Structure 1
Amino acid sequence: MSQAVTAPPPPRIGRLSIAALGVLALALGTLQSVVEPAIPLLQGELGVTPDEGALIGNTLLITGAVLTPVAGKLGDRYGGKRVLIRLMAVVAAGGLLAGVAPNLPVLLLGQVLQGAMVGALPLSFILVRKHLSAGESQVAIGVVIALFTGGGMVGTLIAGPIAELLSWHWMFALPTVVIIATTMAVARLMPHDPPAESDSGIDWPGVLLLSGTLLTFMLGLVTVTNGSLPPLAVGAVAVAVAALGTGWVAVERRALSPMVDLRMLAKPAMWHACVLTFVITVTAGMVIFLLPQLFAISGDGYGFGASTTDIGLFLLPGAVAGALSDSVGGVAARRFGPRAVVVVGAVVTAATLTALAAQHTAPWHLVLAKVLTAFAAGVGTTALLAGTATAVETKDIGIATSLLVVTRVIGVALGAQLGGAILGAGGDPVTGLPAESAFVTGFAVAGLVAALSLFVVRVTKLHVTKLRVTNKGVGA
């Protein structure tokens, strides 16, 4: 009588392995966040305009946007540990390249490579879920997420002291050294996880086309707004963006395993959530870029001439508020519904930015604005994410949430680039610095964009109400 042969359970991992993943997440969060308070410094050191400076943070976001739907698939196919180590090698190369960058193009290339860090979190989740029970996995995943968020706060605080005591190059080099060391620890402590069999391939054409579309659009926005391109070249950039975007859509519609299943966007609940997420994060991206610029500048009657260290301290309360908002957003969505959360957040954000456009004469004005807008944006996008996850079928949750995460990243990147474009276009012809009126315009435009989400909510109100009734009817 033959007995079925069962595969042995995967080995369990101990606290040291979880600690190594946690410290790696902390270092990655630090490396990701050192740029925000240091952008004014980097612009001065590299001799670039604000719209060019906005690219420094955006290139990392773009890489993250295109890798978000791919990282988990790679981990499932080839093993989480194997893919994590290789991605961290790419991140380390990017960090070291940024650490020795002599000019903007090299720094941007380093940031593109660093964007591979976005794959660390889903791959870490794969590892702990394969080697721990469900309950233990939840605890471990919570630790990793909390340390990544904490790393964002650490990076905000240490960017200034490192740049001022050593140089801006060390802002990238020091976290990268920690990443290399902790990756070696993970390689030693974490057992190998067997790859899973899969019939679906990786949509590499889709990855390349989306990357090319976003990068071409961002670079085109910079060159168009600073007036360095003739009209014919502007038209060529627009055609290139349209061609790449059209090619990406065509590839995604025909791919057997697309990186983004565009059929999901045909569902009203999905595209409503994507539009609202995009509007909210465009506003957030503008604020993220404009506030450090105003802190740093020392104009005639405006600005504060703050150092990178001071900027980090000014931005820290907003980083804390943003971290807290992620936990509040899901609770608020369950209690009041995503629509109510988005409406309140939009009203708060629009009112805050309108007030900031009129009154920005003290640092606390900017600090308070950062806290309010960061909390409102975080609560709103998290509520939409949670609401969408409960509105779609269980089998579509991964696709739906990936779409929203990609939308979130693209919105922040576009918002930051728009903020840079406004400052670049509003430069003083004598000093070359952005005029106060450019900041006023930037805050006013960001407030108008925030208010636009109220219009979107109004337009989509009937359908979402019907969706909720349907969900209640089936016991959702």
Structure 2
Amino acid sequence: MPHQGAIVAVLAIAGLCSSFMFTLVVPIQSRLPELLHSSPADTAWVVTATLLAAAVMTPISGRLGDMYGKRRIVLVLLAVLVVGSVVAALSTGIIGIIVGRTLQGAVVGVVPLGISILRDVLHEDRVDSAIALISATLGVGGAVGLPISALVTQYSDWHVLFWLAAGLGVVVFALVLWIVPVSVLRTAGRFDYLGAAGLSVGLIGILLAVSRGNEWGWAAVPTLVCGIGGILVLLLWGWYQLRASEPLLDLRVAARRPVLLTNLASVAMGFSLFASNVVYPQQLELPVETGVGFGLSLVAASLIVMPSGLVMMVLSPFSGRLAGTVGPKLLLVLGAIALIVAYGFTLLFDQEVWQLLVANIIIGVGIGFGYAAMPMLIMRSVPQSETGASNGLNALFRSLGTSTAAAVVGAVLAGYSTTFQGAPVPTATGFTISYVLGFIAAIVALAFALFIPTRRAPQEKHPSLPR
């Protein structure tokens, strides 16, 4: 078997590559209508399609990994990323870009699968630190990737972004094939295609309502049909899953108190994280003449946001050791407290660039601790045969939090705006309310974290692994 450090490094690179896909098009997002000769409503699907694909594929790929081998599914997802990137790179119209971005979104499943692989192949003394590192890539890839995307866009054609993504996918595919061992722990049974279809339809309905409600209107018929229809489909899906002999997700495992509370905390923490990703860059980039902005370029603003991702990466080894000493529950509590401090600091001090930099660094501490703790809590509470699906479900709950933050904060900033040089810009009140929402979400995450039981669930016996 390859050296365990090499396995961790390759899976971390895969995680960075997958999370990079979410900030890949941020530098050109406002220019997409012009570049693709389409309306803003149509080009919004360039982002929405990736979000939907990630949400649907993450829990499904986790189950496929449990059944057919986690490395095999990681390789499939990376191959899909490469295909999607090439499709987008060769496209000049809206349809090709949306198809490519949809395929790119599927790669997000490599993070929960990578975490599950670590449990299978690493010695137990190394698992916590390694999980903290892989979990951190969910935030690091986006934060570090944003200035890279901005620089590529500034000095080259925008299609180069997608060629860059394709190249990364090829390199990571080769590394996984070379370094990561074949999965030997499998779950017997047949794949639940009906369950996968029901979960997909329900999630797409809810996420469409959340992500497009601000544009369609929250009381509009399309929003209500998607949202209520999605909820009803998921309720029916849950009823079916509880009665299926080989369900896609064992909801009885997901309903265990530690798993349920961790997943609910994930929603709140995901909201708190993404609220900062939406608000801080806008405030940094708005012209000084608006009275609320700092007039930074996209590259300069992304460099202010980037340290939060670097902090997550630096903290990850310490997070793993701390979790081994005090337990992942306390780590999650500390992460939520750090987010509360960050938003509280911003509500008091947001008049200088350095103050937003400090707040972002504290957010990096909070997300670094919180994202490291969540998969540890999940894997202490589920049997080894369910790690892929359970981690995928946890990643899905985080995505629900980030999606909700994007919609809610976007609606707040749009609702509290004024006109500047013929274009709407957020007001100070809009930014303040957004920070309050992030603050409240962090408090909710703390409340859920405090009630998570600390007792380990009985685990399946499996052969001890070498150091």
> What range is the shorter-chain TM-score in?
0.7 to 0.9
1:272 is aligned to 261
Residue 42 in structure 1 maps to residue 29 in structure 2? yes
- Alignment correspondent of 1:297: 286
What do residues 367-408 of structure 1 show as CA deviations (whole Å, max 9, x unaligned)? 221111122123124224324433556666555544333322
3-state DSSP of counterpart to 1:432 = strand
Tell me which residue corresponds to 2:436: 444
Amino acid in structure 1 at the alignment position of 2:57: L
Equivalent residue for 2:213?
A: 224
Question: Is 167-176 or 398-407 further displaced after alignment?
Answer: 398-407
Answer with 399-408 or 293-302: which moved more: 399-408
The match for 1:179 is 169
Does structure 2 retain, via aligned residues, the 8 Å contact 1:63–1:211?
Answer: no
Cα shift readout 1:265-285 (whole Å, capped 9, x = no counterpart): 432222222222221221112
Count matched residues: 451
Query: Do the aligned residues in 1 keep the contact of 2:49 with 2:101 (CA within 8 Å)?
Result: yes
Output the aligned Cα RMSD.
4.5
Greater CA deviation, 252-261 or 178-187?
178-187
From the superposition, tell whether residues 105 and 358 of structure 1 become closer, same or farther in structure 2 (CA, over 3 Å).
farther
Name 1:307's counterpart in structure 2.
297
Residue 162 of structure 1 is matched in structure 2 by 152
2:407 maps to 417
Instruction: Return the alpha-carbon distance in structure 2 between the equivalents of residues 183 and 39 of structure 1.
Output: 25
1:355/1:111 CA distance change after superposition, 3 Å: same
| Separation (CA, whole Å) in 2 of partners of 1:345 and 1:133 | 25
Q: Which residue of 2 aligns with 1:282?
A: 271
What is the CA distance between 1:255 and its match in structure 2?
3.1
Once the two structures are TM-superposed, the CA of residue 120 in structure 1 deviates from its matched residue by 4.1
Mean Cα displacement is larger for which, 441-450 or 154-163? 154-163
Cα deviation, residue 230, structure 1: 6.3
Answer yes or no: is the 8 Å Cα contact 1:78–1:195 preserved in 2: no
Match of 1:259 in 2: 248
Aligned partner of 2:359 among 336, 344, 369: 369
| Cα distance in 1 for residues equivalent to 2:379 and 2:103 | 30
Amino acid at match of 1:383: A
Structure 2 residue corresponding to 1:236, chosen from 201, 225, 250: 225
Indicate conservation of the 8 Å contact 2:55/2:396, yes or no. Answer: yes
- Give the conservation status (yes or no) of the 8 Å contact 2:74–2:110: yes
Q: Displacement, 1:124?
A: 6.9
* Residue identity opposite 1:366 in structure 2: L
Q: Write out per-residue CA displacement over residues 131-165 of structure 1, whole angstroms, 9 at most, x where no aligned residue.
A: x9979x98xx89x9599687656523321110000
Deviation at 1:300, TM superposition (A): 0.9
Rounded to whole Å, the distance in 2 between the matches of 1:60 and 1:401 is 20
SS in 1 for 2:296: coil
Deviations 1:399-455 (A, max 9, x none): 554433332233233223322232233343552223332222111111112122344
Structure 2 unmatched ranges of 5 or more: 459-467
Sort the Cα spacing of 1:368 and 1:56 in 2 relative to 1 into closer, same or farther, 3 A: farther
1:93 paired residue number: 83
Match of 2:465 in 1: none
Shift of 1:166: 0.8
Q: Which amino acid aligns with 2:26?
A: I
2:16 aligned to which of 29, 40, 45? 29
Q: Structure 1 residues 346-355 or 324-333, which shifts more?
A: 324-333
Kept in 1, the 8 Å contact 2:11–2:134? The answer is no
Q: 1:385 to 1:77 in 2, by over 3 A?
A: closer
User: Matched residues, percent identical?
Assistant: 21
* Distance verdict in 2 for CA 1:340–1:123, change over 3 Å: closer
CA offset digits 1:190-241 (Å, max 9, x no partner): 8996998864122233333333333332332344323557644443233322
Query: Could you tell me how far apart the structure 2 residues matched to 1:126 and 1:266 are?
Result: 20
Task: From the superposition, tell whether residues 414 and 343 of structure 1 become closer, same or farther in structure 2 (CA, over 3 Å).
Answer: same
Distance change (3 Å), C-alpha of 1:278 and 1:258: same
- Displacement, 1:316? 1.9
Q: Report if the CA contact (8 A) 2:258-2:378 is conserved.
A: yes
- What pairs up with 1:268-417 in 2 under 5 angstroms? 268-298=257-287, 300-391=290-381, 400-417=390-407
Match of 2:194 in 1: 205
8 A Cα contact 1:53 1:420, kept in partner:
no
Larger Cα Rg: Structure 1 or Structure 2? 1
Residue aligning to 2:445:
453
Report the secondary structure of 2:189's partner residue.
Answer: coil
- In 2, the alpha carbon distance for the partners of 1:375 and 1:147 equals 10
Q: Is the CA contact 2:253–2:259 (under 8 Å) kept in the aligned structure 1?
A: yes
Amino acid in the other structure paired with 2:29: L
Q: Is the 8 A contact 1:54 1:420 kept in 2?
A: no
* Residue 434 in structure 1 maps to residue 426 in structure 2: yes
Residue 208 to residue 160, structure 1, CA distance change in 2 (3 Å): same
Rate the CA distance shift 1:85–1:270 in 2: closer, same or farther, 3 A. closer
Per-residue CA deviation, residues 166-187 of structure 1 (Å, 9 max, x unaligned), is 1333222223134236646876
Distance 1:395 1:241, change over 3 A: closer
Q: Output one character per residue of 1:240-269: Cα deviation in whole Å (capped at 9) or x when no partner.
A: 222332233233223333332211243222
Distance 1:358 1:51 in 2: 36
